[in-house]
Amino acid sequence: MSLRLHYFPGNASLVVHVLLEEIGVPYELVLVDRKTNAQKSAAYLALNPAGRIPVLQDGALVIFETAAIVMHLLDMRPSELIPAVGPRARFYQWLMYLTNTVQAEAHPFFYPDQHALDEAGAAQVKQKAEERWGEMFALLDAELAARGPWLLGDTFSALDPYLAMLVRWGRFMKSPPRDLPHVGALARRVAERPSWQRAMAQEGLAEPYFG
């Protein structure tokens, strides 16, 4: 089996990288240098026509979209990172929330000029995106307060490094999610895991991870 993760440090590929370390399968890292716009090169677009990171190559199979890659890895190597088949509804719920709601809101926050016609409009887009992001992380904090310490309760799962990655992205917010008591505590627990530390070291990312 030959797995190749096309990544950029700290990008959405980070959760895939951490999960590869968690499940313990051999893999190769392929840097997609966003500094030179490599994700828009002809070679990369042949793998992912959307021109976004990450891509996972599993032999002849090519997969893009972060959540889809996560599910493929969990299908390929069943483990405690996903519940048994019966009670997976909450896992699916939170995976979709993280990818379709929280992660999706990152784009207007980091690239507001792509969602507005002028500089003033871009500033408003960024402000509103940060407000919505704050509401989303507050919802997650309330969930963890009620059912934590992990998103599925007592059991660590693939959801938790996904959330920790998004907490890292939110370090640029005026009220960063690391300051929420339960979300921040979860992110710090994830950061203590050897899988996270190995992935961060390989990507050249140092502490403070969320600051």
pLDDT in tens, 115-127: 999 999 999 999 9
pLDDT-based confidence at 174, cuts 50/70/90? very high
Q: Are 106 and 134 in contact (CB under 8 A)?
A: no
- 86 pLDDT higher than 90: no
Q: Are 48 and 8 in contact (CB under 8 A)?
A: no
> Cβ neighbours of residue 101 under 8 Å, at least 6 residues apart?
136
pTM value is 0.96
Domains along the sequence of the chain with CATH: 3-76 (3.40.30.10), 89-193 (1.20.1050.10)
